[in-house]
Amino acid sequence: MISPDSITTTTCPFCGVGCTLQLHIRDQFIYKVTSPFDSIVNHGNLCVKGRFGYDYVFNRERITTPMIRKTPQKPGSRVPAPTLEDWTSITWEEALELVADRLARIYQRDGSGAMAVYCCAKATNEDNYLMQKMYRTLFRSNNIDHCTRLCHAGSVVALQMAVGSSAMSNTASEVIHNDVFIVTGSNVTENHPIIALQMKAAIEKHGAKLIVVDPRRIELVNYATLWLPEKPGTDVAVFSAMAHVILQEKLYNQEFIDTRTENFASFAESMEKFTPEFAEIISGVDRELIIQAARMYATAKNAAIYWALGIPESVHGTDNALSLINLALLTGQIGRLGTGLNPLRGQNNVQGASDAGAMPWHYPGYQRVDQEEIARKYETCWNIEPGGLNREPGLTTTEIMSAVGEGGVRSLYIMGENPMMSEPNLNHTRHQMEQLEFIVAQDLFITESAAYADVFLPAVSFAEKDGTFTNTDRRVQRVRRAIDPIGQARPDWQIICDLALRIEKKLGITQSSGWNFQDPSEVLAEMGSLVPEYRGVKYDRIEKVGLQTPVPDESHPGTPYLFRDQFPRGRGKFHPLTYIPSAELPDEEYPMILTTGRVLEHWHGGSMTRRSWLSDLFPEARMELHPTDATRFGIHHDDPVRVTSRRGTIVLRASITEKTTPGVVFIPFHFAVAAANILTIDALDPLAKIPEYKVCAVNITKVTEDELPDPGSHQPRGRY
């Protein structure tokens, strides 16, 4: 048996569950991953990604030296450079001086509107806090965003509007205290497998009843008391019809409504049109199922709602989330153990990156950039002259890309994100990337986006750094360095601090905003001084078990569930709703609905899992098609098919399965070959500015094997 040199306890770098990992190290190599049975989050359980998906750290495609393009790029003629032959290695001194000089010159010439940065939900709280601080203090720009805009932005905006908060109200493990729980827009067993285990235990061991509302026949349907197979894009109709039933049958909680909410009368009036009959016509869900679901949820002692990207990733994503919030306020199923509104976060630190201010409208702690007293507080802490910080909300990720060009965004700094996989309508994104004047990529690999960069700054993986992640439960947990940085790769926070000092010098700034941090714990302490919810989170307090925010002081034990006595905005606010169809619906030319999502073996843009042995388990993109539609189109299992939308076309193999429903095809978005987001529409939710990933119209045709693109050889793996 191998005897380990060391075992390092850290936090999983994949989904938002935040499982505890033990990295077994020998000779600077991770040879095994386990988890302690006393882990408060996952109790020793790990999914396939957490237990086996770590070998990307040692992938031979890791970039471990700073690099610049061999051929200088010009706006309008920028081309990708996907292989090392297109790049030249340089020193860190040369790379940082070049980046500082180019960014400073663009800012001095074109102002703050020319500057934009994508922060990263894979990076730590400390990394994201420093990156947003650098762009706000040095470039006076709020054009700062990250992948939350492409996943839960609709949930965040809706929760802020209705209750004044933007995170899960309860802890995922509280599902064992549910009598009834709703899962909607979330394939939990594939996207949050450890939470799915807890949900199954709640049903099998504790007698909870599950209602699944989803267009796909996800695995949890096998455990559900009710399945409401709605058409994609009809969430408002279904959940508002449930509210209609609760109102008509007087199943609502009048005491809670009177003491804890406002705007009830306007909301109730708007629900009158949402009869179960109306919802059945719109959604395809049997009216009796809607009635049963409403009664079951409203009469439960403790009921909760869990949702993921099927709710917010829509042109009416904010309304979708509001329809869920309305149900909780109507029944009083919030503010207690085993209840609540629980958006399951997709990436390991998307909650923390949002908390840390990696968004265009908010400083850290969701404090508005356009509120004078808030801006003054940050100016004082960051040593900025009064009135120096920009009071104008910035651009979101999709708006940044659309604003590229003369008089708009000229430079883009990409820390760990991959817009060339994650943005909708990728042909448009590609065109906009080509127009940029200067691009910096700070990452592990030459991703589909980093291939467009002028300068590549090699960052370390989760196993080579210290910091914190905040999971979907609002739990701030330690990330610990287990191995030395590979090659010349550096932690993101150190890269940012070194770069910021150089930019200050280029800009002639004599009063520094403060970049001489010696340890990431000092960064978190500064963030905590500005964000009340993090004030009591200190490294020495989370050495063994994380703390759930809010943690207002160093004696506070953390907050497992929110809103016991009141909402942050005072009273919870009901919002009247109307049903608005999706931006693009099927027609004769494009008769099918495409919806996108994730699979168990991969994760988001795939930059990590496609460079892991996990790729052997799911090596290529596949389109799921219902048997009824397969007969209609003359397609058999494993046939190559062409899927076409008004924006582009891809070719991939078909899987014939009843996991999807008639009229709907499903394609995962992890794969560069047959990228699903070539097809998706870039229509936006008007409030959250989140794109529509769940509904667009496509056509499918059978093609020959010769037309199937080469997925390429498996990514090289093994020790670096």
**489 neighbors 91 (Cβ within 8 angstroms):** no
Burial group, residue 491, by CB count within 10 angstroms (0-12, 13-18, 19+): buried
Q: What share of the chain in percent tops pLDDT 90?
A: 95
The CATH code of domain 6-58 reads 2.20.25.90
Segment 2-14 shows an average pLDDT of 89
Q: At what angle do helices 317-331 and 287-299 cross, to 10 degrees?
A: 50
Query: Which parts of 208-263 fold into alpha helices (H)?
Result: 235-248, 254-260
- The answer to whether the CB of 48 falls within 8 A of the CB of 609 is no
pLDDT average, residue stretch 406-428: 95
Residues 670/610, Cβ–Cβ less than 8 Å: yes
pLDDT beyond 50 at 187: yes
Query: Cis before residue 591, ω within 30 degrees of 0?
Result: no
Which two tokens mark 643?
């899927």
Give residue 151's pLDDT.
83
| CATH class of residue range 592-707 | mainly beta
Residue range 273-286, pLDDT digits in tens: 999 999 999 999 99
Q: Which of 598, 475, 646 is nearest to 147 (CA)?
A: 598
Is the pLDDT at 544 greater than 80? The verdict is yes
CATH topology of domain 67-146+356-472+486-532: Rossmann fold (3.40.50)
Q: Where are the domains of the chain?
A: 6-58, 67-146+356-472+486-532, 153-344, 592-707
According to the model, what pLDDT value does residue 392 have?
A: 98
What pLDDT sits at residue 184?
Answer: 98
- Confidence check: pLDDT of 149 > 90: no
- CA–CA separation, 466 vs 637, rounded Å? 46
Backbone angles phi, psi at 245, to 5 degrees: -65, -45
The mean predicted confidence, pLDDT, of the chain is: 95
Q: Give residue 720's pLDDT band: very low, low, confident or very high (50, 70, 90).
A: very low
pLDDT of 400 higher than 50: yes
Range of 93-97, 421-425, 607-611 with top mean pLDDT: 93-97
Residue 377, burial from CB neighbour count under 10 angstroms (0-12, 13-18, 19+):
middle
Asked if 2 and 31 touch (Cβ cutoff 8 Å), the reply is: yes
Tell me the three state secondary structure of residue 204: helix
pLDDT at 28 over 60: yes
Average pLDDT over residues 7-14: 97
Q: Which fold has domain 153-344?
A: Dimethylsulfoxide Reductase; domain 2 (3.40.228)
Q: Which of 242, 235, 285, 170 is nearest to 661 (CA)?
A: 285
Given a cut of 80, whether residue 347 has pLDDT beyond it is yes
For residues 690 and 416, what is the distance between their CA atoms, to the nearest angstrom?
20
Question: 715 pLDDT exceeds 80?
Answer: no
Residues 6+ apart with CB under 8 A from 225: 209, 210, 211, 296
Q: Does the pLDDT of residue 338 top 70, yes or no?
A: yes
Angle subtended at Cα 450 by Cα 435 and Cα 615, rounded to the nearest 5 degrees: 135
Structural Rg of the chain based on CA atoms = 25
Mean local confidence (pLDDT), 369-381: 97
Q: Check if the beta carbon of residue 421 is closer than 8 Å to that of residue 452.
A: no
- Please give the pLDDT value at position 1: 58
Q: Please say if the pLDDT value at position 717 is more than 60.
A: no
Read off the pLDDT of residues 619-667 as tens digits, 9 standing for 90 and up: 999 999 999 999 999 999 999 999 999 999 999 999 999 999 999 999 9
pLDDT tens digit sequence for 566-603: 999 999 999 999 999 999 999 999 999 999 999 989 98
Mean pLDDT of 263-278: 98
**The residue to which tokens 């930019």 are assigned:** 503
Give the pLDDT score at 148. 83
pLDDT band of residue 2 (cuts 50, 70, 90) is low
Span 489-503, average pLDDT: 98
Q: Is the pLDDT of residue 716 over 70?
A: no
